[in-house]
Amino acid sequence: MTEKTELNEVAAAAKEAKRVADAAADTKQPSKGQPWPLMPIGVGIGIGSAALAAALLYANAGRKKG
């Protein structure tokens, strides 16, 4: 009969901590991500503002003063 080496809770926790530390050492630092695409956002805001201004001018042009 073969004897198994049974790990107690402390040894199992130490083994798991070593495994996690080794896995973390193999990973790269997370990147900061990509910056916001400011050009398309600015263009969208400009087009939206122009559309609102045109809609207001069109709505006011149809009213009669008096």
> Tens digit of pLDDT for each residue in 16-46?
898 888 887 766 666 677 777 778 888 888 8
- Cα angle vertex 53, ends 51, 54, to 5°? 65
pTM as predicted: 0.38
What distance in Å separates the CA atoms of residue 56 and residue 49, rounded to the nearest whole number? 11
CB distance 7 to 15 below 8 Å? yes
DSSP, collapsed to helix, strand or coil, labels residue 12 as helix
Give pLDDT tens digits for 38-55: 788 888 888 889 999 999
